[in-house]
Amino acid sequence: MIEFQNVSIAFNNNHVVLNDVSFKVHFYEKLAILGASGGGKTTLLRLILGLVRPDSGKIFIDGQDITELSESELRTSRMKFSIVFQEGALFDSLNVRENVVSCFREYSNYSEEEIEKKARELLNKLGIEEAIDLMPEELSGGMQRRVAIGRALAGCKPKMVLYDEATSGLDPLTADNICGLIRDLAEGEPPERTGFIIVTHKVTDAVKVAERFIYLRNGQIVFDGDIDELRNTADAELRVFTGELHIAENIFDRRGR
Amino acid sequence: MNIKENILRLQGFYILSAKAPLGIMRRPFYMRETIEQMDYMGTGSLFIVLLVSLFIGMALCLQISAELASLGLKMYTGKIVGISIIREIGPVSLALVFAGRVGSGMASELGSMMLGHQVDILRVQGVDPVKKLVTPRVISAILMLPMLTVIGDAVSLLGGYYISVFVSHQSGYFYWSQIKEIMTFDNIFSGVIKPFIFGYLISCVSCYAGLSTSGGARGLRKSTTAAVVYSMILIILSDFMLTRILLYVLGMNV
């Protein structure tokens, strides 16, 4: 369970990114964090991982306050998560196989054959087995994103996966594909399943995967609810966001008729 | 940039410089990364080292034999060339070449890993980026720069031989006998100890610059420049201090 208590953070002395944010989320939840660009969404993920420290407030991961921990003590709490960054953040000196198994190499003594098998299994699940020997720069954006997801799921057995703009910058078809993948990978019943937090500004993608939605504005949470509440929100700005959703649905409705 | 920020940076640099070599004390050992770095730094730099050393040796020998000829002391060319190459010019010039080639490479590689969140991924995987990225680089630089220096010194002496025999028309046998004469423990020790320290300084400065990169392409330019500039300044300043200390330790009169 992740719990934020009155977390505030500012960059460059006075640019407030998050302001008194409090919320709770279970590891098995499917949460989407929405908001305009520069609204502090990515910072929120970095705070969960302890990559940055808040200026004030507390962050509890399984009841442990991670804002007080040192870099080496943070390891255990970080390993409950894995993250998929916006650009994929693949290790560009390693090929796809080594990227996917980088966590195995670190923590296990599997033989080369076993590692190879695991890599193939995973890439097969992601539908990119043929790319196993390619280098990251030879892959398309969508494939890079898939490899990054594969790496996030391999090895360290995360309790929760964090997706930072996993679908942005991709064409609708590939984005839809990735959404399907995210959804499939979070299968199972709570509390056993691996949940996720997806940070995005694309509402249409968020509703495809998530069950709970949080909307951030000016560093504060202005909305926290499920899909029905999101549709019927009275917040003017959020309605602009969800407007995209209504349009998409209208088109599909008309086609359906 | 205020004073507090500068002191914090300096502190960060000291911590990194202390932590990096200590990384070999505890598991996991990143042998594969270390060997890859050694290949990049050592084998990769070999050609430029050979080229630079050859020409430095030849130019130095030309200058010295021209000056000595006017004094009628041409037979001392080998001795002077040998001492200056082994004790001073070889280590320093190759450290500068190394800083330019490898230091900038390290800073830009680590910098782009920082910007591309690859370092963050390592931290999320529970891997210590200092151990995985910095320690192999520091260890390989400490090991490779002395080797390159020894090879470079030999090539410089060969260049000197070529000039003194074929241009300055001296006896080759006499040149080598002079070189042999100066191959004493004191001379070699004071020449070979320096690159160990230069390698350590270059790699720590460059890795620190790389890992403190922020702010996109502009930030990368800044950190790469800082890596090379600070490495060069540190090489030259520490060379002076080392020379002073070594002369004192080895009991040579100035």
DSSP-derived letter for residue A84 is E
pTM metric for this prediction: 0.87
Q: How many residues does chain A have?
A: 257
pLDDT at B18 (0 to 100): 92
**Is residue B2 in a domain?**
no
Is B223 a domain residue? yes
* Domain extent for B188: 29-249
Which of B106, B119, B125, B214 to mutate to probe the A interface, most A CBs <10 Å?
B125
- The whole-angstrom separation of Cα B42 and Cα A143 is 35
pLDDT at B17: 92
Among chain A residues, the shortest Cα distance to B120 is held by A51
Look at A49 and B123 and tell me if their CB atoms are within 8 Å: yes
3-state helix/strand/coil string of A166-195: CCCCCCHHHHHHHHHHHHHHCCCCCCCCCE
- At residue B160, the pLDDT reads 93
Where do the H-state alpha helices sit in B72-183? 77-83, 90-98, 104-115, 118-124, 129, 135-162, 172-182
Cβ within 8 Å, pair B125-A156: yes
- B208 or A96: whose pLDDT is higher? B208
Pick among A92, A112, A115, A145 to test the B interface (most B CBs inside 10 A): A92
- C-alpha span between B138 and B205 (Å, rounded): 10
Which chain A residue has the Cα nearest residue B30?
A106
Q: Rounded to whole angstroms, what are the CA distances from A50 to A7, A73, A76, A78, A151?
A: 13, 10, 11, 7, 20
Is B9 part of a structural domain of the chain?
A: no
Q: Which of A174, A182, A183 is nearest to A150 (CA)?
A: A182
| CATH entry, A1-53+172-257, from 1.20.1250.20, 3.40.50.300, 3.90.330.10, 3.40.50.740 | 3.40.50.300
In terms of phi and psi (left: phi > 0; alpha: psi -120 to 50; beta: otherwise), the region of A34 is beta
Only one residue has tokens 């076993």, namely A114
Mutate to test the interface with A, among B19, B37, B121, B128 (most CBs of A within 10 A): B121
CA distance B250 to B193: 13
Asked if the model's pLDDT at residue A245 lies above 80, the reply is no
Whether A56 and A65 have beta carbons less than 8 Å apart is answered as no
Q: Please tell me whether residue B243 adopts helix, strand or coil conformation.
A: helix
The whole-number pLDDT of residue A257 equals: 47
Residue B71: inside a domain? yes
Within a domain: B67 = yes
Mean pLDDT of chain B: 92
Question: What's the number of domains chain B is made of?
Answer: 1
Write the DSSP string, A100-160.
HTHHHHHH----HHHHHHHHHHHHHHHT-GGGTT--GGGS-HHHHHHHHHHHHHSSS--SE
The pLDDT-based confidence of A111 (bands split at 50, 70, 90) is confident
| B21 in any annotated domain | no
Q: What is the mean pLDDT of residues A141-159?
A: 81
| Residue A72 contacts B where some CB pair is shorter than 8 Å | yes
- Across the interface, do B28 and A106 touch by the CB < 8 Å criterion? yes
Give the Cα-Cα-Cα angle B33, B39, B42 (nearest 5 degrees).
130
B45: closest CA of chain A, how far (Å) = 19
Residue B15 lies in a domain: no
Q: Residue A61 forms beta bridges with which residues?
A: A2, A64
Residues sharing a CB contact under 8 Å with residue B56, sequence separation 6 or more, in sequence order: B85, B89, B90, B93, B156, B159
Q: How confident is the model at residue A35 (pLDDT cuts 50, 70, 90)?
A: confident
| pLDDT tens digits for range B72-127 | 888 889 999 999 999 999 999 999 999 999 999 999 999 999 998 899 888 888 88
A49, A71, A87 member nearest B116 (Cβ): A87
